[in-house]
Amino acid sequence: MITVSGSISTVLPPEQAFAFLSEFENTSTWDPGTPVVEKRSDGPAAIGHRYHAEADFRGKRQSIEYQIRELRPGHIQLRGENKTVIAFDSVDVAPSTSLPGGSDVTYTAEFGIKGFLKLAQPFMGPAFMSLRDPALNGLKAKLDSLAGPPAQN
C-alpha cells in the first residue's frame, strides 16, 4: 500500500468541520485532485452510502466508486475501487491542540495498485504524494472559510 497522510488545523469547531467532511460529496470543493464527487445514496452520510468520484492522476481522469465503511463521531473511512486501484480514505477530526475552539484534521489515503501495474507500486509513491499538499491547502482554506471572517475586536 502507498500511504499519503497529512494534518491541518482550522478555526472551524470540530463538530462543524466533521459535519462538512463526513458529507464526502464536499470533497470536490477542496481537493483539486478530485474535481467530481457525486452522492449515489439518499439521506445523511451513513455506513454503506455510495459515491462516484473522478480523480485527476498523472494527467488522466479516472472514475472511482466509493462506499462508507466506518462512521463515528470525528471519524469516517471510505473504500474506493476501480480497475487499477483500491483506496481507503480516512478523515479524523479532533479539538485543536493549537487553535482554541478549532479543529485538527488528519486526512489519510491508502492506495493499493491492482493488476500488472502492481509491479510499479514501489515506484509510484512520489506521484501519489504530489496530491497531498494541494489537497491539504484546499482543505484548510475551505474549512477556514466556513468559519466566516475573524471576529473584530
Range of the domain at 53: 2-146
Is pTM beyond 0.85 here? yes
pLDDT of residue 150: 63
Residue 98, domain CATH: 3.30.530.20
Residue 113 domain flag: yes
Residue 151 domain flag: no
Residue 153 domain flag: no
Residue 8 domain flag: yes
- pLDDT per residue, tens digit, the chain (153 aa), is 889 999 999 999 999 999 999 999 999 999 999 999 999 999 999 999 999 999 987 778 999 999 999 999 999 999 999 998 999 999 999 999 999 999 999 999 999 888 776 766 666 777 777 788 999 999 999 999 998 776 555
Residue 38 domain flag: yes
Residue 136 domain flag: yes
Using a CB cutoff of 8 Å and minimum separation of 24, what contacts does 143-151 make? 143/8, 143/10, 143/12, 143/17, 143/20, 143/30, 143/103, 143/105, 144/10, 144/11, 144/12, 146/12, 146/16, 146/17, 146/20, 147/10, 147/11, 147/12, 147/13, 147/16, 150/11
Residue 71 domain flag: yes
pLDDT of residue 1: 84
Distance, CA of 143 to CA of 147 (rounded, Å) = 7
pLDDT of residue 7: 97
Q: Are strands 85-95 and 50-57 parallel, antiparallel or unpaired?
A: unpaired
Residue 35 domain flag: yes
Q: How many domains does the chain divide into?
A: 1
pLDDT of residue 151: 55
